[in-house]
Amino acid sequence: MTTDDPEVSVSNEAPAFSDESSFSPEIAAAIRTVREDVARLHGELVRYDLIVWTGGNVSGRVPGADLFVIKPSGVSYDDLTPENMILCDLDGAVIPGTPGSDRSPSSDTAAHAYVYRHMPEVGGVVHTHSTFAVAWAARGEEIPCVITAMADEFGGPIPVGPFAIIGDDSIGRGIVQTLSGHRSRAVLMQNHGPFTIGVDAKDAVKAAVMVEDVARTVHYAREAGPLIPIPQETIDSLFNRYQNVYGQNSDARR
């Protein structure tokens, strides 16, 4: 038996489920990877105490296709698997006949889709109602850049986006308007909470973890006394160093 015997390659590679023959093998493999990443990354929202019940959602763009993967609406985090993640087009429409398509996608799907349509550089979107970030959003107050870790990660303050009602494009539009041309990968939608973006789903989850961390720290700092601003040129140099020097060359953000 030779190594290119079709029976051998099929039996070794056959996945437990598949995203139909309508996709090329490369796109089907990319979808599979994003399904696994998105399902697993919801566990990070739990681990970092960013969500309660089934609130919060992670999505990831499928590289090379006008598609993204998002979680189903209202399903317990314990029950999220690659197979029940939902594949959508960039209008937020569920791709019929694909695994998970029997369920409704997250109620924030339209906002995620809007971001992917209008920000081609974005590969991941996360939304939570994490406590301290929501507290700043409830006041409609941006988080000032007063700690070096924040200058590193966000390059300045965390901006506030407009008040927007769920159900149409207004949340997505507010995210895109606020974050386009802004260094921050996080926006505090007023009276609502944080949305974060990243080069991929993991990077957006990291931003969601970090925005809650700085929201908490700056909250406590201000409770105890006046905040000391960091000069803009120092913020600039911290941000540039962290984005270009810190970490590994293999990092997705490089």
* Residues tagged active-site: 152, 246
Could you tell me if 81 and 36 are in contact, meaning their C-beta atoms sit under 8 angstroms apart? no
- Buried residues in 37-48 as b, exposed as e (16+ CB within 10 A): bbbbbbebbeeb
7 dihedral zone (left: phi>0; alpha: psi -120 to 50; beta): alpha
Q: How far apart are CA 84 and CA 36, in angstroms?
A: 10
Residue in the block written with tokens 């908490």: 216
Q: How far apart are CA 228 and CA 230, in angstroms?
A: 7
